């Protein structure tokens, strides 16, 4: 199992980041996501937005569907105000990559970690562009 986290600071108001996160896919920087279908969306009593999408469950957890019989990738996204600059938002994200029986010498976990890291950067860039 491999895990890593990264942080990105968005110098934009919370509402702008919330809108950008919901419009993150599809985007021209990550052609592997052609579209996302929303199955259900609601706000719970505490004010948290829950959005259930086809192939992903979005709010704080994303599960990638392809290759699930060989490897799973569960990704967590946490958006919160920056402790020193509450008008900005810090995104902390990170996947947990679990090998499901593929030979450790195949380095599938390492390959997936590299792909997820690259896509994370593309997603952050797409959100930054959506805020302008």
What is the pLDDT at residue 32?
A: 67
More confident residue, 51 or 46: 46
Q: Binning pLDDT at 50, 70 and 90, where does residue 84 land?
A: very high
Mean of the per-residue pLDDT values of the chain: 77
Range with lowest mean pLDDT among 2-11, 23-32, 49-58, 104-113? 49-58
Task: Output the 3-class SS for the chain.
Answer: CEECCEEEEECCCHHHHHHHHHCCCCECCECCCCCCCEEEEEECCCCCEEEEECCEEECCEEECCCCCCCEEEEEEEEEEECCCCCCCEEEEEEEEEEECCCCHHHCHHHHHHHHHHHHHHHHHHHHHHHCC
Would you list the domain boundaries of the chain?
2-130
> Pick the residue with more confidence: 84 or 68?
84
Neighbours of 99 (CB within 10 A): 17
In the chain, pLDDT over 70 holds for what percent of residues?
79
Q: What is the pTM of this model?
A: 0.62
pLDDT higher than 50, residue 57 = no
Q: Yes or no: is domain 2-130 CATH 1.10.240.10?
A: no
Q: How far apart, in whole angstroms, are the C-alpha atoms of residue 49 and residue 9?
A: 21
Residue, of 7 and 70, whose pLDDT is higher: 7
């Amino acid at each position: 199992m491999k895990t890593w986290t990264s942080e990105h600071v968005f110098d934009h108001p919370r509402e702008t980041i919330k809108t950008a996160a919901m419009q993150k896919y599809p985007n021209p920087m990550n052609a592997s996501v052609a579209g996302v279908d929303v199955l259900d969306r609601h706000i719970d009593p505490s004010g948290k937005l829950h959005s259930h999408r086809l192939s992903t469950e979005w709010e704080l957890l994303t599960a990638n569907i392809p290759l699930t019989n060989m490897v799973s990738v569960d990704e967590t996204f946490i958006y919160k105000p920056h402790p020193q600059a509450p008008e900005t938002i810090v995104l902390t994200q990170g996947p947990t990559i679990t090998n499901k029986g593929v030979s450790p010498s195949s380095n599938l976990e390492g390959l997936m970690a590299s792909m997820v890291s690259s896509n994370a950067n593309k997603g952050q860039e797409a959100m930054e562009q959506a805020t302008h």
